[in-house]
Structure 1
Amino acid sequence: MTKGYIHIYTGDGKGKTTAAIGLAIRAVGAGKKVCILQFMKSLAYSEQKILQSIPGITLITLGKPYFIAKEGMLTDEQRKTWGNHIRIYPAGHPPKDYREMTLKGIEQAIDAVSKNYDMVILDEYNMARWYDLATEEETEKILKARRPEVELIFTGRNAPKEILDAADLITEMKKIRHYYDKGVPVRTGIEN
C-alpha cells in the first residue's frame, strides 16, 4: 500500500483546476481510478466534455446555473453585470438549494475517499467553504474518512485553516498579471 498525500492548489492566480485535472490525467494514465467532484460548477465548462469520456474518471458536478455572493461583496456595477445570474445572501446563510446540493457532494466525497478511488479531487471545495456552503466539521469528516493511500486534492481560492493544516503539499497560484484586469471576457476552451 502506497501512502497518499493531501494537496492544495489555492491562490488568486489562474490554473488551480487545470493543475488538478492534469494530475487526474497522469493518474489515469498510470491505471489509477479518479473521482472529481466539482463544487460550485454546473455542466458548463469545456473540460467536462472530455473528462466524462475518459475511462477511469468519475466526474460529479455540484453547481447551480447561477453564482452566489455574500452581502457587501460586490459593487453595484458588478451586481448589474451578473443580472439575474446571481443570488446575494447574508454571510452564514447561503441559498438553501445550494447548501443541500453541497451536503450531497460532501456525502459523495466521504464515500469516494473511503472506498475504491486512488485519487479524489474536490475542485473549488475551498470556495464552497468560503461561501458558507460547507462547514469546518464537514471538512473534518472528509479528512477523517480518507483511506491512507488515497491522494486527495483540494482546489480553490481561500483555502481554510483545517485544510491547510492537513495538507502535505500546498501550491499557491499567484496572479502577477491577468488580462481580465483589461476587460478581456472569459474565453471558451481557455477559462471555461
Structure 2
Amino acid sequence: MKQGLIHVYCGDGKGKTTAAAGLALRAAGCGERVIFAQFMKGNESGELSAMERIQEIELLRNSRNYGFYKNMSDADKKEITREHNEILKEVMRKIESGGYGMVILDEITYPYELDLIDKSEVERLIKEKPPSLELVLTGREPDELFLEYADYITRMKCIRHPYEKGIPARRGVEF
C-alpha cells in the first residue's frame, strides 16, 4: 500500500488553487481518483472547467458565489456554513467508500478560521485520514494544526501583482 501524505499550499501569493489543480491532474493522469472540494468560492474558473471533463476527478463546491466574508449577511454566513458542512460530509462519505487516492480541500483555511465549517470534522480528517490517502489543504493562513500534520508546506509569496496597478483578474490567468 502506498503512503499518503499531507500537503499545504498557503500564503498571500497567487497559485494555491492552481497548484492543487495541477496535483489533481497529475494524480488523475496516473489513474488515481481525486476529490476536489472547493470552499468559499462559487464562481467559474478555467481549472474547474478543465477538471469537470476528467472522469477521475470529482468536484464538490458551493452552489453559488457568496462573495467576501466581510460582505456576507448573517443569512449568507448561515447558508454557506450549511453548504460547507454538506460538502465535508460528502467528502467523508466518499473517503469511507474507498477508491480515492487524493482529496483536495481547496480554500479550507478560510471556513476553518471563520467558523464557517464544523472544525471537529476537519480536524478528524486531518488526524485520521486513511494511510494511503494524499490530502491537500489550501488557503492563505493555515491553522497551526494544518502545519503540524503537513508533510509538504509550500508558501506562495506575492512580490508583485497586476491588481496593484488596477488590472482586474483575467480569464485563463487568474481564474
Q: What TM-score does the superposition give when structure 2 sets the normalisation length?
A: 0.91
Task: State the partner residue of 1:9.
Answer: 9
Residues 43/109 of structure 1: CA separation in 2 closer, same or farther (3 Å cut)? same
1:130-181: CA deviations, max 9, x gaps? 2321243221122244210000000111111111111111000011111111
Give 1:137's match in structure 2, choosing from 120, 144, 159.
120
Contact 2:40 2:65 in 1 (8 A): no
Task: Say whether 1:112 aligns with 2:94.
Answer: yes
Structure 2 unaligned spans of 5+: none
Distance 2:64 2:111 in 1: 12
Distance 1:4 1:153 in 2: 10
User: CA offset at residue 113 of structure 1?
Assistant: 3.4
Task: State the partner residue of 1:65.
Answer: 65
Distance 1:156 1:12 in 2: 9
Q: Which amino acid aligns with 1:95?
A: K
Structure 1 unaligned spans of 5+: 71-85
Contact 1:32 1:118 in 2 (8 A): yes
Task: State the identity %.
Answer: 40
Task: State the partner residue of 2:162.
Answer: 179
Size of the alignment, in residue pairs? 174
Larger displacement relative to structure 2 (179-188 or 126-135): 126-135
Larger displacement relative to structure 2 (42-51 or 53-62): 42-51
SS at match of 1:95: helix
Q: What value does the CA root-mean-square deviation take over the aligned residues?
A: 1.8
Distance 1:152 1:122 in 2: 8
Query: Within 5 A, what are the aligned runs for 1:55-134?
Result: 55-62=55-62, 64-70=64-70, 86-88=71-73, 95-114=77-96, 115-134=98-117
Contact 2:85 2:118 in 1 (8 A): no
Task: State the partner residue of 1:80.
Answer: none
Task: State the partner residue of 1:75.
Answer: none
Give 2:146's match in structure 1, choosing from 163, 172, 179.
163
Larger displacement relative to structure 2 (100-109 or 42-51): 42-51
| Larger radius of gyration between Structure 1 and Structure 2 | 1
Contact 2:103 2:134 in 1 (8 A): yes
Distance 1:88 1:133 in 2: 13
Q: What TM-score does the superposition give when structure 1 sets the normalisation length?
A: 0.83
